[in-house]
Amino acid sequence: MNASLPLHPRSHFPPDFVWGVATSAFQIEGAATWQGKGESIWDRFCRQPGAIADGSHGDVACDHLNRLDSDLDLIERLGVDAYRFSISWPRVQPDGRGAFNPQGMAFYERLVDGLLQRGIRPYLTLNHWDLPQSLQDSGGWAHRDTCYRFVQYARHMAQALGDRVAAITTHNEPWVMAVLGHESGVFAPGVRNRGTAMQVAHHLLVSHGLALQELRADGCKSRLGIVLNLSPIVPATASEADAAAARLEDGRSVRWYLDPLLRGEYPEDVWHHLGTDAPCVEHGDMELIATPMDFLGVNYYTRSVVSANGSWNAKEHGGPLTDMGWEIVPQGLTQLLRRLQRDWSLPPLYVMENGAAFRDSLQDGRVHDGNRVEYLSSHIDAVGRAIAQGVPVAGYMVWSLLDNFEWASGYAKRFGLVHVDYDSLARTPKDSFHWYRGFLDGQKAQRKLHVGAMA
Ligand code: FCB
């Protein structure tokens, strides 16, 4: 696609709809050992031979810590209403317990104030995966004590920033931390044990509920919620076996989180399937987990196709793929959002991440990423369709502001609206950046018309 022919999503969005862009601490900050920052499980994991595809780490990443002001200027230029970022727990509390690090706290104060000065609403995430390594050394999320450490950290951050941030997310994608971190072990901390993974998932949910209760008791004014990675789960064929495999996968990746959060119970079919790997649940845990939320965040990238023998492979099916090898299925987002509304009683939904990695090339100071423009435009349309069908979606955020450290894929996969040259660390807005900006200008013009019409 030629970027001079911008695609405009056809849908209409409510005037108070929140448009944003997202990042996370470990993926952009760098400064891994500076100013008193403690080690995180991702710092440690990156040192394991073979763990990261290109052998890289987060020591420098996008050097965001040293480029905060110019990165904030970029966000302002983009014209978004909101910026979603995460706090590096080991930067603010190096050991995950005990003293807080004033230099780490000062960085996030500057970040939040810098956003507000530019008229951008801060959306804060407390846990985007980078647990302090010293907590991992004493059992990590598999150990119940980590829930209490998390709540202490959450309260401290809310006391410092809760008067200025629009929303606080407890955890980003508990499924990823539990299953990729502790069952398949492809993400930090690299554990391979299904029972441990399910205990971790349970502790993440318990700590989420506990944090909500404590923050509210402290009088925190920010809206509170959690962010889940969700996909429609589709059987590969019409066979009984594939349907059963898809139902189980839906149970393990979707219902396992939404049922406890929104109904206070784990799905029975999955519980039975897990047998002795089911988590240990203490009295009162389910009520804690189901503490009402002010919002639910949804991260959507693709659908998931499941076959009983695990043989389905997106590459063999001829549909368009991103550089992650993920199928491009915008209608899957409409389908997912509608299904959430059909099956659960929901708080307002925010699409907290949506975006795509492509093999961008920087030529003469430009990145012509029409494929990303098309991806974003079609997914924004998909959100609009869900809203038109009555789903309460209140916001949408692009993943990501910058190309960054894409976890086990290292720096090879580029998701940014802004290109990062990892030698010079220079930032170059891509065509998709200019496109999103233009799209947001259009939204703002519509808002003005709306306000005019209401006056
Ligand atoms: C999500 C993560 C985010 C980013 C995208 C591509 O699962 O939350 O940090 O890596 O995937």
Domains of the chain, each with CATH number or no CATH: 18-454 (3.20.20.80)
Give residue 452 CA to ligand 1 midpoint distance, Å: 39
Q: What atom of ligand 1 comes closest to residue 324's alpha carbon?
A: 6
Give residue 217 CA to ligand 1 midpoint distance, Å: 31
Q: Is 231 in the pocket of ligand 1 (CB under 6 A)?
A: no
Cis check: omega of the bond before 189, within 30 degrees of 0: yes
Q: Is 415 in the pocket of ligand 1 (CB under 6 A)?
A: yes
Residue nearest atom 9 of ligand 1, based on CA coordinates:
24
Residue 214 known to be catalytic: no
Q: What atom of ligand 1 comes closest to residue 406's alpha carbon?
A: 10
Torsion 384-387-391-394 (CA) sign: positive
Q: Is 404 in the pocket of ligand 1 (CB under 6 A)?
A: no
Q: Is 183 in the pocket of ligand 1 (CB under 6 A)?
A: no
CB crowding 368-400: b at 16 or more within 10 Å, else e = bbbbbbbbbbbbbbbbbbbbeeebbbbbbbbbb
Query: Rounded to an integer, what distance in angstroms lies between the CA atom of residue 297 and that of residue 349?
Result: 6
280, exposed or middle or buried, with CB in 10 Å at 0-12, 13-18, 19+?
A: exposed
* Helices 145-161, 194-217: inter-axial angle, 10-degree rounding: 40
Task: Please report which helix (H) or strand (E) contains residue 45, including its range.
Answer: helix 41-46
Note the pLDDT of residue 10: 67
Helix residue ranges per DSSP H, 264-412 = 268-274, 285-289, 330-343, 370-388
Give residue 438 CA to ligand 1 midpoint distance, Å: 25
* Helices 256-263, 194-217: inter-axial angle, 10-degree rounding: 30
Per-residue pLDDT of the chain (455 residues; tens, 9 = 90+): 444 445 667 667 999 999 999 999 999 999 999 999 999 999 999 999 999 999 999 999 999 999 999 999 999 999 999 999 999 999 999 999 999 999 999 999 999 999 999 999 999 999 999 999 999 999 999 999 999 999 999 999 999 999 999 999 999 999 999 999 999 999 999 999 999 999 999 999 999 999 999 999 999 999 999 999 999 999 999 999 999 999 999 999 999 999 999 999 999 999 999 999 999 999 999 999 999 999 999 999 999 999 999 889 988 887 899 999 999 999 999 999 999 999 999 999 999 999 999 999 999 999 999 999 999 999 999 999 999 999 999 999 999 999 999 999 999 999 999 999 999 999 999 999 999 999 999 999 988 888 888 77
Give residue 404 CA to ligand 1 midpoint distance, Å: 10
Give residue 180 CA to ligand 1 midpoint distance, Å: 12
Query: Rounded to an integer, what distance in angstroms lies between the CA atom of residue 86 and that of residue 169?
Result: 9
Q: Is 407 in the pocket of ligand 1 (CB under 6 A)?
A: yes
Give bridge partners of residue 127 from the DSSP assignment. Answer: 171
Q: Is 305 in the pocket of ligand 1 (CB under 6 A)?
A: no
As a residue count, the chain comes to 455
Note the pLDDT of residue 1: 43
Note the pLDDT of residue 5: 44
Q: What atom of ligand 1 comes closest to residue 172's alpha carbon?
A: 8
Residue nearest atom 10 of ligand 1, based on CA coordinates:
406
pTM: 0.97
Q: What atom of ligand 1 comes closest to residue 227's alpha carbon?
A: 8
DSSP symbols for 109-159: HHHHHHHHHTT-EEEEEEESS--BHHHHHTTGGGSTHHHHHHHHHHHHHHH
Give residue 276 CA to ligand 1 midpoint distance, Å: 30
Q: Is 354 in the pocket of ligand 1 (CB under 6 A)?
A: no
Note the pLDDT of residue 6: 56
Q: Is 299 in the pocket of ligand 1 (CB under 6 A)?
A: yes
Catalytic residue, candidates 173, 183, 374, 406: 173
Q: Is 229 in the pocket of ligand 1 (CB under 6 A)?
A: yes
Give residue 82 CA to ligand 1 midpoint distance, Å: 18
Q: Is 13 in the pocket of ligand 1 (CB under 6 A)?
A: no
Catalytic residue, candidates 39, 249, 353, 374: 353
